[in-house]
Structure 1
Amino acid sequence: MPSATTAIHPSGVLKIAFTEEDHRYIDDFGLEYTSGTRLIHNAFAPFDTAAAAAAKSKKTGRPADEFIQEWKRYGEECATAGTRTHENCENQILRQYDKLYTPMDEAERIRFSAAWREVEQLQQIYSCIEPEKLVFSPRFLVAGSIDMFCTIDQMHYAIGDWKFVRKLPKESFGGRTGIDRATFHIPDAKFWHYALQLNIYRMILKIEGYIPMTAQVDLFLKHYNFDGFFEHIVIPDLSAEALLLIAENVTVDGLERTPF
């Protein structure tokens, strides 16, 4: 993604700018928007790495620090792999073939090849794919970038997200759930975080007039689990939870501000 990106609201009267360096979304009036990623982050308690490592250490007998270092290494590997492959997919969609990365090793060649095939299959399904589509809601001061905004026709769309993580669990550590009214019943696990994020983007698209309110919008993940293949994962409908999260970004119930 470029260091600075701009987008115009469907109304045509407002523009927003995103800067990669500080991950900020700011509109023409200088108002800063909360990212979809940040909304999700705030809806769940911070992950206690030390406690999780200690629990695994107790079960396995391995030192807790080994787990912490292992998780850190996996995270860095997935981040690097994801960035380069993601950018290759974007450039393939845009037909900017001169910007494609050359594989650094056999593992990356396999990953690039698998991603190339996925994009080709998606292009056969959808009439148009917009990579890194920036969307924002002046009503709720929420913004985000959609990996793939896909069109079938004027009443049927899809939102797709690339994920490069070794595991995509649906069950949370210790049975934890969210800490927001919208997420009290949702497991604190990666799958549900990503599901909420895509539902938020769908809500923005409809509320702000990017697409008709009654349009069908499918949600999916393309998950590369480092075995040479992508898994197509359909995302469930969490529209009510998504709407509550974005509404809470600009409203309060007043209960914590009782003046006596």
Structure 2
Amino acid sequence: MDNIFKPDKRIHLDEKNHKYILDDNKDIVFTSVTECISQYFEKFDKIKIAQKLVSSHPKYIGMTMDELIAKWDKSAISGTIVHKEIEDYINEKRQPNHQKSKIAIKWLSKHLMNSKYKLFSEIIVFCEDLRLAGTIDLLLYDSVNEIYTILDWKTNKEISTKSFKGKTGIKPETCDLPDCKFTHYSLQLSLYRYLLEKKYNLKMKKLIIAHITEKEVKGYVAPYLKNHIFLIIQKILGN
């Protein structure tokens, strides 16, 4: 039972400014795991891409740039609500309102909410030496095999597995990886796994991307991109 995860209460997320703050050393400026990985790919220019889509893509004919951006923003807000409702159900058994939350909880109840698993929802992990911090959507502890799985909820319309026109990462550490959602998410989960193994000494099993659609949850097992994470860590350390 020594392998049970114990959340570190010294750190919290300032949600308004989206900054992680370590209570006993507030001078540390943490980079979020999501932000860290995004630095290795071309930046998502929302305005530029929206302008291009409404002027050239048949799907967006008749839509203005502002309308498309508003649609994206609404989707992001919806995703935040779903994450919160799932967390509240796991921690407090509070019933959700959002349809996607209900779908996710039904899936959880069927597959993972049993005596075998202990669930840790919205867990902050960090490393002072690397100046990295992030929030894991769901950490699952298999009490029979004493091993962990990381699960990441995704509510966006689709999870692309191929890059547009063969685009790849923009830095040496990721130049062999396709620039698509599945790669980004896999790297994020891989970095979380690295932190949990190295700092928290947890034994890890799988990385799961749980895509919540309008009708179901589709689970994808993400690869552990260990070699790429090692290169990224070396870059952070200046080696």
Pair in the same fold by TM > 0.5: yes
Q: What's the TM-score once normalised by structure 1's chain length? A: 0.77
Structure-2 separation of matches of 1:61 and 1:165 = 17
Residues 190/74 of structure 1: CA separation in 2 closer, same or farther (3 Å cut) = farther
Partner deviation per Cα, 1:148-192 (whole Å, 9 max, x = no partner): 011003641100011000011011222211112221111111111
Paired residue secondary structure (1:94): helix
Q: Which string of whole-angstrom CA distances, capped at 9 and with x for unpartnered residues, describes residues 15-50 of structure 1? A: 333211111123322211111011011111113453
- Name structure 1 gaps, 5 residues minimum: 1-6, 10-14, 254-260
The answer as to whether partners of 1:200 and 1:246 remain within 8 angstroms in 2 is no
Question: SS at 1:157's partner residue?
Answer: strand
What's 1:66 paired with?
63
3-state SS, counterpart of residue 227 of structure 2: helix
Match of 2:206 among 218, 228, 232: 218
2:103 alignment partner in structure 1: 114
Tell me the distance in 2 between the aligned counterparts of 1:94 and 1:37. Answer: 24
Distance 1:174 1:140, change over 3 A: same
Match of residue 3 from structure 1? none
Taking the aligned partners of 2:172 and 2:116, their CA distance within structure 1 comes to 36
Q: Which has the larger radius of gyration?
A: 1
Q: Deviations over 1:91-150 (max 9, x none)?
A: 1111342xx44x3xxxx4x42321221221221385201001111112211111100011
- 2:113: which partner in 1? 123
Cα pair 1:89 1:119 within 8 Å, conserved: no
Instruction: Give the Cα separation in 1 of the matches to 2:164 and 2:65.
Output: 15
Q: CA deviation at 1:223?
A: 0.4
Which ranges of structure 2 fall in alignment gaps of 5 or more residues? 1-6
Aligned with 1:78 (options 70, 75, 78): 75
Pick one of 90, 101, 123 that aligns with 1:93: 90
Q: What stretches of structure 1 move > 6 A for 4+ residues in a row?
A: none
Q: Helix, strand or coil: the match of 1:145?
A: strand
The residue aligned with 2:235 is 248
> For the Cα contact (< 8 Å) 1:86–1:162, is it kept in 2?
yes
Structure 1 residues 17, 88: CA separation in 2 closer, same or farther (over 3 Å shift)? closer
Structure 1 pair 126–189 and aligned structure 2 pair: CA distance change class (3 A): farther
Q: Distance in 1 between matches of 2:184 and 2:125?
A: 19
Deviation at 1:225? 2.4
Q: Could you tell me which residue of structure 2 aligns to residue 257 of structure 1?
A: none
Identity score, percent: 27
1:8 and 2:8 matched? yes
